[in-house]
Amino acid sequence: MNSLNIKLSGKFNGKLSGKLSLIMCGMLASLQPALAETAGKTYLNPAVGYHMFGSESGVDDSEALVIGGEYVISPKFGAEISYLYSNPDAKVGSIDVDVSQYTLDGLYYTPEIGNWQPFLNAGVGHGAFDVGSVDAKETQLNLGLGSRYHFNEKWSARLQAKVINSLDDERWDSLVTAGVSYAFGGKSKAAPLVLLDGDGDAVLDENDQCPSTPSGVHVDTVGCAFDRDGDGVADYLDQCPDSPSLDNLDENGCAIVVAAVIEQPESIKLEVKFANNSAEIPETAKAEIKAVADLMTQFPNANVEIAGHSDSSGNADYNKTLSQRRADAVRDTIVNEYGVEATRVTAVGYGEEQPIADNNTKEGRLENRRVIAEISYK
């Protein structure tokens, strides 16, 4: 710089001081809810600025472009690395001067004011002045202040003012910048933990699977009203809380009584699966036999013949005897267990005499091994 006869003075422009005062007053004007800095957040800080040199520097003031990267170490401290380029004219000869500055700053975030986050900065830098074949370099210290206005978590506006001291030339410069910043990373402030129990059943909403249970209703561990008969109707609404069946229930948890259709069937096929060479009735057939007994009770004028049939496997006489034994077993159950008069129930074994399917196939033989309740009416 000495080769250009550029002598930078230590005078700091009075007009700069006035500008800085106006800027900082504007930055402190908002009183909206704050978005404080959070550790781990990184800002990309592009900006435009005005680079001002001492009044005796021999270099005109100039616009400047700045790009910086800012990392938030904690809600109080951050660090920024930045690059500045400006292109002032030398006052003598109107020669272009390319100015580059690389700066590393430490930041101190003061308490936020509304959406404004004021900060102070101090740092060290490297400056280069390039004029044709002459290239002067210097070490710099800087001190400044600024503020960021948060539009939201990602976007903000940033204003900053610095004074810059050259350790080599004992010169003072100044810089004012304005830019828009983009943030990424970091974590937002955690909202205060609020434990909610909207229905007041002592089960917190986050665990409550029935969050609208009426007040005073006894609930289980997941906040749902007890339902001791498991019919889907809570006990406090269940007018029949001990329903033996879960089928055909109304909204009150009670069985829906369906009026019986009065009809007189002529026969009922009983699915009684006897074991091989056995006349013992399996438990699985008891419900069907009960249905015959219920019909006899419903129609007092009805008589029933229990007809046993077999397939053609084996000896015909034996088959007839076996089918009679099986028919007798069903008859005895209807009379002895369900109290139907014995005179109204008869049992006949027809053996293989009345097939309804082909005895030459396995499926046909299965169809032929059957018990039929033949109903007649007086």
Per residue, the 3-state secondary structure of the chain, as one string, reads CHHHCCCCCCCCCHHHHHHHHHHHHHHCCCCCCCCCCCCCEEEEEEEEEEEECCCCCCECCEEEEEEEEEEECCCCEEEEEEEEEECCEECCCCCECEEEEEEEEEEEECCCECCEEEEEEEEEEEEEEEECCEEEEEEEEEEEEEEEEECCCCEEEEEEEEEEEECCCCEEEEEEEEEEEEEEECCCCCCCCCCCCCCCCCCCHHHCCCCCCCCCCCECCCCCECCCCCCCCCCCCCCCCCCCCCCCECCCCCECCCCCCCCCCCEEEECCCCCCCCCCCCHHHHHHHHHHHHHHHHCCCEEEEEEEECCCCCCHHHHHHHHHHHHHHHHHHHHHHHCCCHHHEEEEEEECCCCCCCCCCHHHHHHHCCEEEEEEEC
How many CB atoms lie under 10 A from the CB of residue 204?
13
Whether 170 has a pLDDT exceeding 50, the answer reads: yes
Tokens 């539009």 appear where? 151
Report d(CA 85, CA 56) in Å as an integer.
21
Higher pLDDT among residues 92 and 30, named by residue? 92
Written as six digits, the tokens of 339 are: 């109290």
- How crowded is the C-beta side of 143, counted as CA atoms within 13 Å? 3
Q: Is 235 left (phi over 0), alpha (psi -120 to 50) or beta?
A: alpha
Find how far residue 79's CA is from the centre of its chain.
37
What is the pLDDT of the chain when averaged over all its residues?
81
Tens digit of each residue's pLDDT (9 = 90 or more) over 218-259: 788 888 877 777 777 887 787 787 766 666 677 777 766 544
Find how far residue 31's CA is from the centre of its chain.
35
List the end-to-end C-alpha distance of the chain, in Å, as a whole number.
133
Q: Are 174 and 161 in contact (CB under 8 A)?
A: yes
Domain map (residue ranges) of the chain: 41-185, 267-377
Q: Are 36 and 75 in contact (CB under 8 A)?
A: yes
List the CATH code of the domain at 41-185. Answer: 2.40.160.20
Mean pLDDT of 312-325: 90
Report d(CA 227, CA 236) in Å as an integer.
8
- Position 182 confidence tier, pLDDT thresholds 50, 70, 90: very high
Report d(CA 286, CA 266) in Å as an integer.
20
Whether 4 has a pLDDT exceeding 60, the answer reads: no
Report d(CA 127, CA 129) in Å as an integer.
7
Q: Buried b vs exposed e over 5-16: b needs ≥16 C-beta within 10 Å? A: ebebeeeeeeeb
- Position 30 confidence tier, pLDDT thresholds 50, 70, 90: very low
Mean pLDDT of 149-155: 94
Name the pairing type of β-strands 62-72 and 134-150: unpaired
Domain 41-185 and domain 267-377 have a common topology: no
Higher pLDDT among residues 26 and 90, named by residue? 90
- Position 339 confidence tier, pLDDT thresholds 50, 70, 90: very high
Query: What percent of the chain clears pLDDT 90, i.e. is strictly above it?
Result: 37
Whether 314 has a pLDDT exceeding 50, the answer reads: yes
Residue type, 184: F
- Position 6 confidence tier, pLDDT thresholds 50, 70, 90: very low
pLDDT of 189 reads: 54
Query: What percent of the chain clears pLDDT 70, i.e. is strictly above it?
Result: 82
- The verdict on domain 267-377 having CATH code 3.30.1330.60 is yes
Of 5-9, 103-107, 328-332, the range with the lowest mean pLDDT is 5-9
pLDDT of 44 reads: 97
Which of the listed ranges 8-22, 51-65, 143-157, 309-323 does the model predict with the highest average pLDDT?
143-157
pLDDT of 126 reads: 95
Q: Are 38 and 69 in contact (CB under 8 A)?
A: no
Mean pLDDT of 11-34: 41
Whether 3 has a pLDDT exceeding 80, the answer reads: no
Whether 7 has a pLDDT exceeding 60, the answer reads: no
- Position 281 confidence tier, pLDDT thresholds 50, 70, 90: confident
Mean pLDDT of 12-29: 42
pLDDT of 16 reads: 39
Mean pLDDT of 91-111: 89
